[in-house]
Structure 1
Amino acid sequence: MAQVPRLLEIEANTHQRLDEAHRMQWLGEVAALKESLRHIAEKKNKADRLRRQAAQGEIGTHALG
């Protein structure tokens, strides 16, 4: 979960690069950057799921006590 801030930084940078690629009409780069953004989104979703699971586990542990 500590990786989320880094993922957000990478995502912002990738969006900037994608904007440039669109302006320059670098179609291959546009496709590659869109794929990168898809992978970043998957990693963010996974981190969010893990965070929620950890929170539920903590709540469940407190409920037992």
Structure 2
Amino acid sequence: MGIPGGGVIAPDFTLFPKYCGGCYQAGDSAAVVSRGLGAHSVPVRFMNPAELVAVELSPQVSAGL
């Protein structure tokens, strides 16, 4: 379930999850979080459309090469 600006409840019933969908970066690490395709315990997707994410990975090119 979502509201404009973020999610309301996560599949583990956590309220207002920090990572509810999108791209996140912390230092040298990056994560892509999908909102998912289905419904969890409650079969309702209110203001939270299903999505399928395709991520293309490519090698990082060093400046010295």
Q: After TM superposition, is the score higher than 0.5?
A: no
Greater share of helix residues, 1 or 2?
1
- Given the two structures, how large is their TM-score scaled by the length of structure 2? 0.30
Question: Scaled by the length of structure 1, what TM-score is found?
Answer: 0.30
Specify which structure has the bigger relative contact order, considering alpha-carbon pairs within 8 angstroms and separated by 6 or more residues: 1
**Structure ranking higher in strand proportion:** 2
* Rg comparison, structure with higher value: 1
